[in-house]
Structures are given as structure tokens and as C-alpha cells.
Structure 1
Amino acid sequence: MATTQNFLPELVGSMSQGAAGNPTVAVMEAAFTHHGLHWRYVNMEVAPADLGNAVRGAKAMGFRGFNCSLPHKVTVIPHLDGLGESAGIMGAVNCVVRRDDRLIGENTDGKGFLKSLAPVVDPRGKSVVLFGAGGASRAIAVELGLAGIKKIIIVNRSPARGAELVTLLRDKLQLDAELAVWTGDYAVPADIDIVINGTSIGLYDGDARLAVDTHTLRPGVAVADVIFSPPLTRFLRDARARGCTVLDGLGMLVNQGIVAVQLWTGITPDADVMCHALENALGL
């Protein structure tokens, strides 16, 4: 194999869709091509038992960085040389950057969400409801905390997992955080400014229903969904019908890519080019 410094692999788990089915490949390749960068983004499946060897191999061959998807976001950490601020707080990595001879773990999930949220609402001083306590929700909650939100309610079916995230936010960010155990349709409190679905409910299923009492969604509230396919989930359609300002998951996915390219190359890629590539990859 070539030992070029311009070779970017993506390390993915055995449950990966594979290179042909991963829209991120098209998005990254479009950015590199548009900016005349001699870089490649290659999707690979790496079994959990082989993760350490894969990371050492990437370092030995001069890879400039790579992404990690589940199930590697936590288990990759012992194989790295350090962590960025938010990745260290949340204990999860989805983007690794080579800095000199060190591999540093970052997390672009929450950063991508914040960049997509910015044109809709400034989260500083706002009150938030976040559904889910998995990887995406964890990253979003940490970045919202770092951005200065007023308070956050984590709504989750598993009390233990939800409480773990709430404790992290309280202890590491001194954030006003509370847990609401998700049973039945959740009623959104009247003082909430931002509502976010951080779960996988609705992915590839436009009719899947999030268990929320949509009558408690006030007009003008910002309602966001991390789901990118379909972009307009049932949750967002219901929220729009209530007069809410809605934000789909396409922007989060594109902005994750933008942040990653910035970390790897030092340039800010063209967002329109990446968004167009994503829409083409998804057949939108």
C-alpha cells in the first residue's frame, strides 16, 4: 500500500453499510475534489478485535486521520495519544486527527449539530429537551452544555443510561440537568425553547412515531431531529403543523463532515458542495 500522507481511511464496525452505502464517503470525496485536494476517503470494516491493529496500522502508514463509527467510538480511546475537550468530557470519539506523530481523538457529532442549529436559534441561555441518551444525544448534550444552555432535560426509556448522562453533565459541566423517564407520550414543559430527537426513531421510516404529546409543542419552539433519511420525519412534520421551527438531520451530517475536513486539512470546505453530494447520495 502507498504511504502517502493524503490517505484518509474511515474505520467502521462490522455492522457498517460498507463503502457503497455510506453517504459520508460521497460527501468527503466531493469536498476533496472541489478544493483540489489529493486526498481520499476510504470506508473499511474493522472487527472489534482488530481495532488496535487497525489504529497502529493507520499511524504507521501515515494516515492523516480517520472516523470511527459504532462500535468503536469508546473502545478506540485506549489506542489514541490524547483527546480533545468535548471528546474527553463525553468519553467518545468519532474523528481522529494526526497532530505531528500523535493521534488525537475528537468528536464532531455535537459540533455538527450546533453548526446546523446556529442559523435557527442561539442555544446560549436556552432550556432544552433532548430525547435519548445514546451516542448522538451524549455528544449533543455536551456541546450544548459547552455552548452555555440554561438547562436540559434528558428524556430516556432506560433510567440507568439516562441518569449516567445527567450525572456527567452535572459533574463535568456543572449544568442544570435532570432526567425524565420516558413512559408513554412525553409532555414538553411550557418553558422549553429547543426540543431535539437524538434517537434513531424515524431512520429510514417516515411514518415512525416519536412518543411525544405534540399538543405540548408551542409555536415558535425550535424542534430538531438527528435523522437524515428521510429528512422530514413524522416528528418534524407534526412539529411544523404546530407552528414550530424545524431542523432536519441533513445539516448535522454535512456539518460533521465540514468540521472533520477542517480538523484534517486546515481548510473550510464548501458547504453547498457537500450538501449537494449528500442529497445525491440519498437520492433526494
Structure 2
Amino acid sequence: MSEPLSFKQEITAVFGQPVAENPTQVMIEAAFADAGLAWRYLTLEVAPSDLAAAVSGTKAMGFRGFNLTIPHKVEVIQHLDRLSEAAEKMGAVNCVIRDGDELIGENTDGKGFVESLREVSDPQGQNVVILGAGGAARAIAIEMALAGAAKFTIVNRSTERGEQLTELIKAKTGAAVEFVHWTDDYDIPAGTHVVINATSIGLFPDVDARIPLNTDSLTADMVVADVIPNPPATRLVREATAAGCTVLDGLGMLVNQGVIGFRLWTGVAPNPAVMRAALEEVFG
């Protein structure tokens, strides 16, 4: 008869082609170190055809959770046990938390934005203009609506995608919303409280790319936010600052969504300043 195992059984993974660290990995691991947690946050590439096996493998290997990015944010839902309210409404997941034998889908992108906004303004009752209608716009719009925003204007070049997001907001939140087809420089309407660039215009390396926006329509009583973290000081951030607006850069949203995920996985509140400093070092 063999003797019972008295040691912790482990598998050491060997990667023939290791994936380079990404900014989120650097940020989360800095927070682990600061919190005194001997945890790791790994960047792993998973082909769409392997998604089901990869999700199942996270249970087998005792992962406390994981993040996902495109193209897995929607497809992963069928492999999870349940979703948060926000993830269900927006139909996309970027963060998964293990609770016992269950995998719970969450979306922290929009929550991260709302937390950043609350540092300077209460979302309740605000009129919001969102430039773009992709995944970031969807996450932000749903969370802003759940936080009490009064009205949304979705501005997008693709009519189909813009109208899809408009209908989603109406159906899932009941908030007032209109769609504007983006064909020329857009004038921000009077009475707007928050302007959000949820497009990729200005993302490195195209740092001087211009958003088709009449910056003369920005006023000092507006909050202007850009979701792009690299570079933090996008052209829109610089122009809105010059116009006297309250400005939120993309690092704030990235840090806050990381804080939320960290807390859900570990039960520990991380230090946001440590996380932002790690990102600032990455982005120079």
C-alpha cells in the first residue's frame, strides 16, 4: 500500500514562449507586494477555441479569479455559473471571481470609471455625452445609469453600433438616451455635465490624433474624461485642461477597476497610490 501524501501537490508550469508583462500585471503585482501577499498575476494567452478548457482549468488549478480581454469578454459568459447585475445588463465580463465552486462574472471597467468620477463629481442626475459605442462605452454607460445619471447622448460614426448601445441602455436601465450620428466636429450640448471619450483615438502611438470635437464647446463646468491610459495626457486631456474643465485621465479608471478586482479576489483593500505609481512608471 502506498503511503498517504503529506505534502502539497503542485504543478510547475513551463512556458516555451512567455508572454510579456502588461501594465495591469505590473500594477496588480505592485499591489500584492505592498499588501504583503505572496500572490501572482500572470498574463496568459488563450485562443478562442481553448476558452472553455482554460476556464475549467482555473478551477482545477485553484485560481482565485482572472481578468479577460477581447475577444473573450462575451463568449466567457456561457462558461460561468452566474453574473453580477452590471455584467448581466451589459452582456460582457472582464473579471471573474471564484466563490467556492462557482465562477462569478463581473465587469469592473464601468465601475472603475464611476469611482474615478465620484472623486470629483456625483453621477446622480448628470447629463452625459459618450463618444464611441464599443465595449468601454457600454460598460461606462450601464454603470453610470445604475449610479443615477439622468441622460445619455451616444455619439458614434457607425449608426448600427450607436443605435445598438442606445437600445441597450433603454432596455436595461430605463435611462433617457439619444443617438447622434458622428459625421463632423461634434459640438457638446449646453447643459452637459460629463464628456467621455470611449474611443481609441489618441492611443499610443497615435498620441496626437485629433478627436472630431469642437473644443470651443467645452466649458469649465464640465468634467471631461478620457479612457485611454497610454498616454495619460492625451490630446483631449490637454485641450480640456486648457479649457478649464475638470479632467480625468485613463489611469484613474484603470487603477480603480484594478482596485475593485483586487478586493474581490483577495478580500484586501489595496493602496491605489501604489498602483497608480506602478502604471506611471510603465507609461513613463
Q: Same fold (TM over 0.5)?
A: yes
Amino acid at match of 1:253: L
| Cα shift readout 1:145-180 (whole Å, capped 9, x = no counterpart) | 000011000101111111111111111111001101
Amino acid at match of 1:122: D
1:156-235 alignment runs, 5 A limit: 156-204=156-204, 205-235=206-236
Q: How many residues align?
A: 271
Is there any run of 5+ residues in structure 1 with no aligned partner, and where? 5-17
Residue 132 (structure 2) aligns with: 132
| Cα shift readout 1:9-44 (whole Å, capped 9, x = no counterpart) | xxxxxxxxx842411111110111111112110100
Q: Secondary structure at the match of 2:138?
A: helix
Residue 69 (structure 1) aligns with: 69
Amino acid at match of 2:185: D
Is 2:233–2:249's contact at 8 Å kept on the other side of the alignment?
Answer: yes
Residue 9 (structure 1) aligns with: none
Residue 39 (structure 2) aligns with: 39
Amino acid at match of 1:2: E
Is 1:194–1:222's contact at 8 Å kept on the other side of the alignment?
Answer: yes
Residue 264 (structure 1) aligns with: 265
Q: Secondary structure at the match of 1:154?
A: strand
Distance in 1 (CA, whole Å) between partners of 2:208 and 2:283 is 18
Residue 280 (structure 1) aligns with: 281
Is there any run of 5+ residues in structure 2 with no aligned partner, and where? 1-8, 13-17
Distance in 2 (CA, whole Å) between partners of 1:131 and 1:65 is 31
Amino acid at match of 2:231: P
| Cα shift readout 1:55-113 (whole Å, capped 9, x = no counterpart) | 01111111111000111000111011110110000000000000110001000000111
1:52 aligns with 2:52: yes
Residue 24 (structure 2) aligns with: 24
1:90 aligns with 2:90: yes
- Pick aligned residue for 1:2 from 3, 10, 27: 10
Distance in 1 (CA, whole Å) between partners of 2:283 and 2:129 is 29
Residue 11 (structure 1) aligns with: none
Radius of gyration: which is bigger? 2
Amino acid at match of 2:234: T
Is 2:21–2:43's contact at 8 Å kept on the other side of the alignment?
Answer: no
Amino acid at match of 1:191: G
Distance in 1 (CA, whole Å) between partners of 2:279 and 2:121 is 24
TM-score of the superposition, structure 1-length normalised? 0.92
Q: Secondary structure at the match of 2:152?
A: strand
Q: List, as ranges, runs of 4+ consecutive aligned residues in structure 1 with deviation greater than 4 Å.
A: none
Distance in 2 (CA, whole Å) between partners of 1:21 and 1:282 is 13
Residue 244 (structure 2) aligns with: 243
Amino acid at match of 1:265: T
Amino acid at match of 1:252: M
Residue 15 (structure 1) aligns with: none
Distance in 2 (CA, whole Å) between partners of 1:232 and 1:121 is 20
Distance in 2 (CA, whole Å) between partners of 1:216 and 1:193 is 12
Distance in 2 (CA, whole Å) between partners of 1:117 and 1:180 is 24
Distance in 2 (CA, whole Å) between partners of 1:59 and 1:157 is 41
| Cα shift readout 1:229-268 (whole Å, capped 9, x = no counterpart) | 1111111211122221111001111111100001101111
Amino acid at match of 1:208: A
Identity between Structure 1 and Structure 2 (%): 57
Is 1:19–1:25's contact at 8 Å kept on the other side of the alignment?
Answer: no
| Cα shift readout 1:210-231 (whole Å, capped 9, x = no counterpart) | 0101111112211000011111
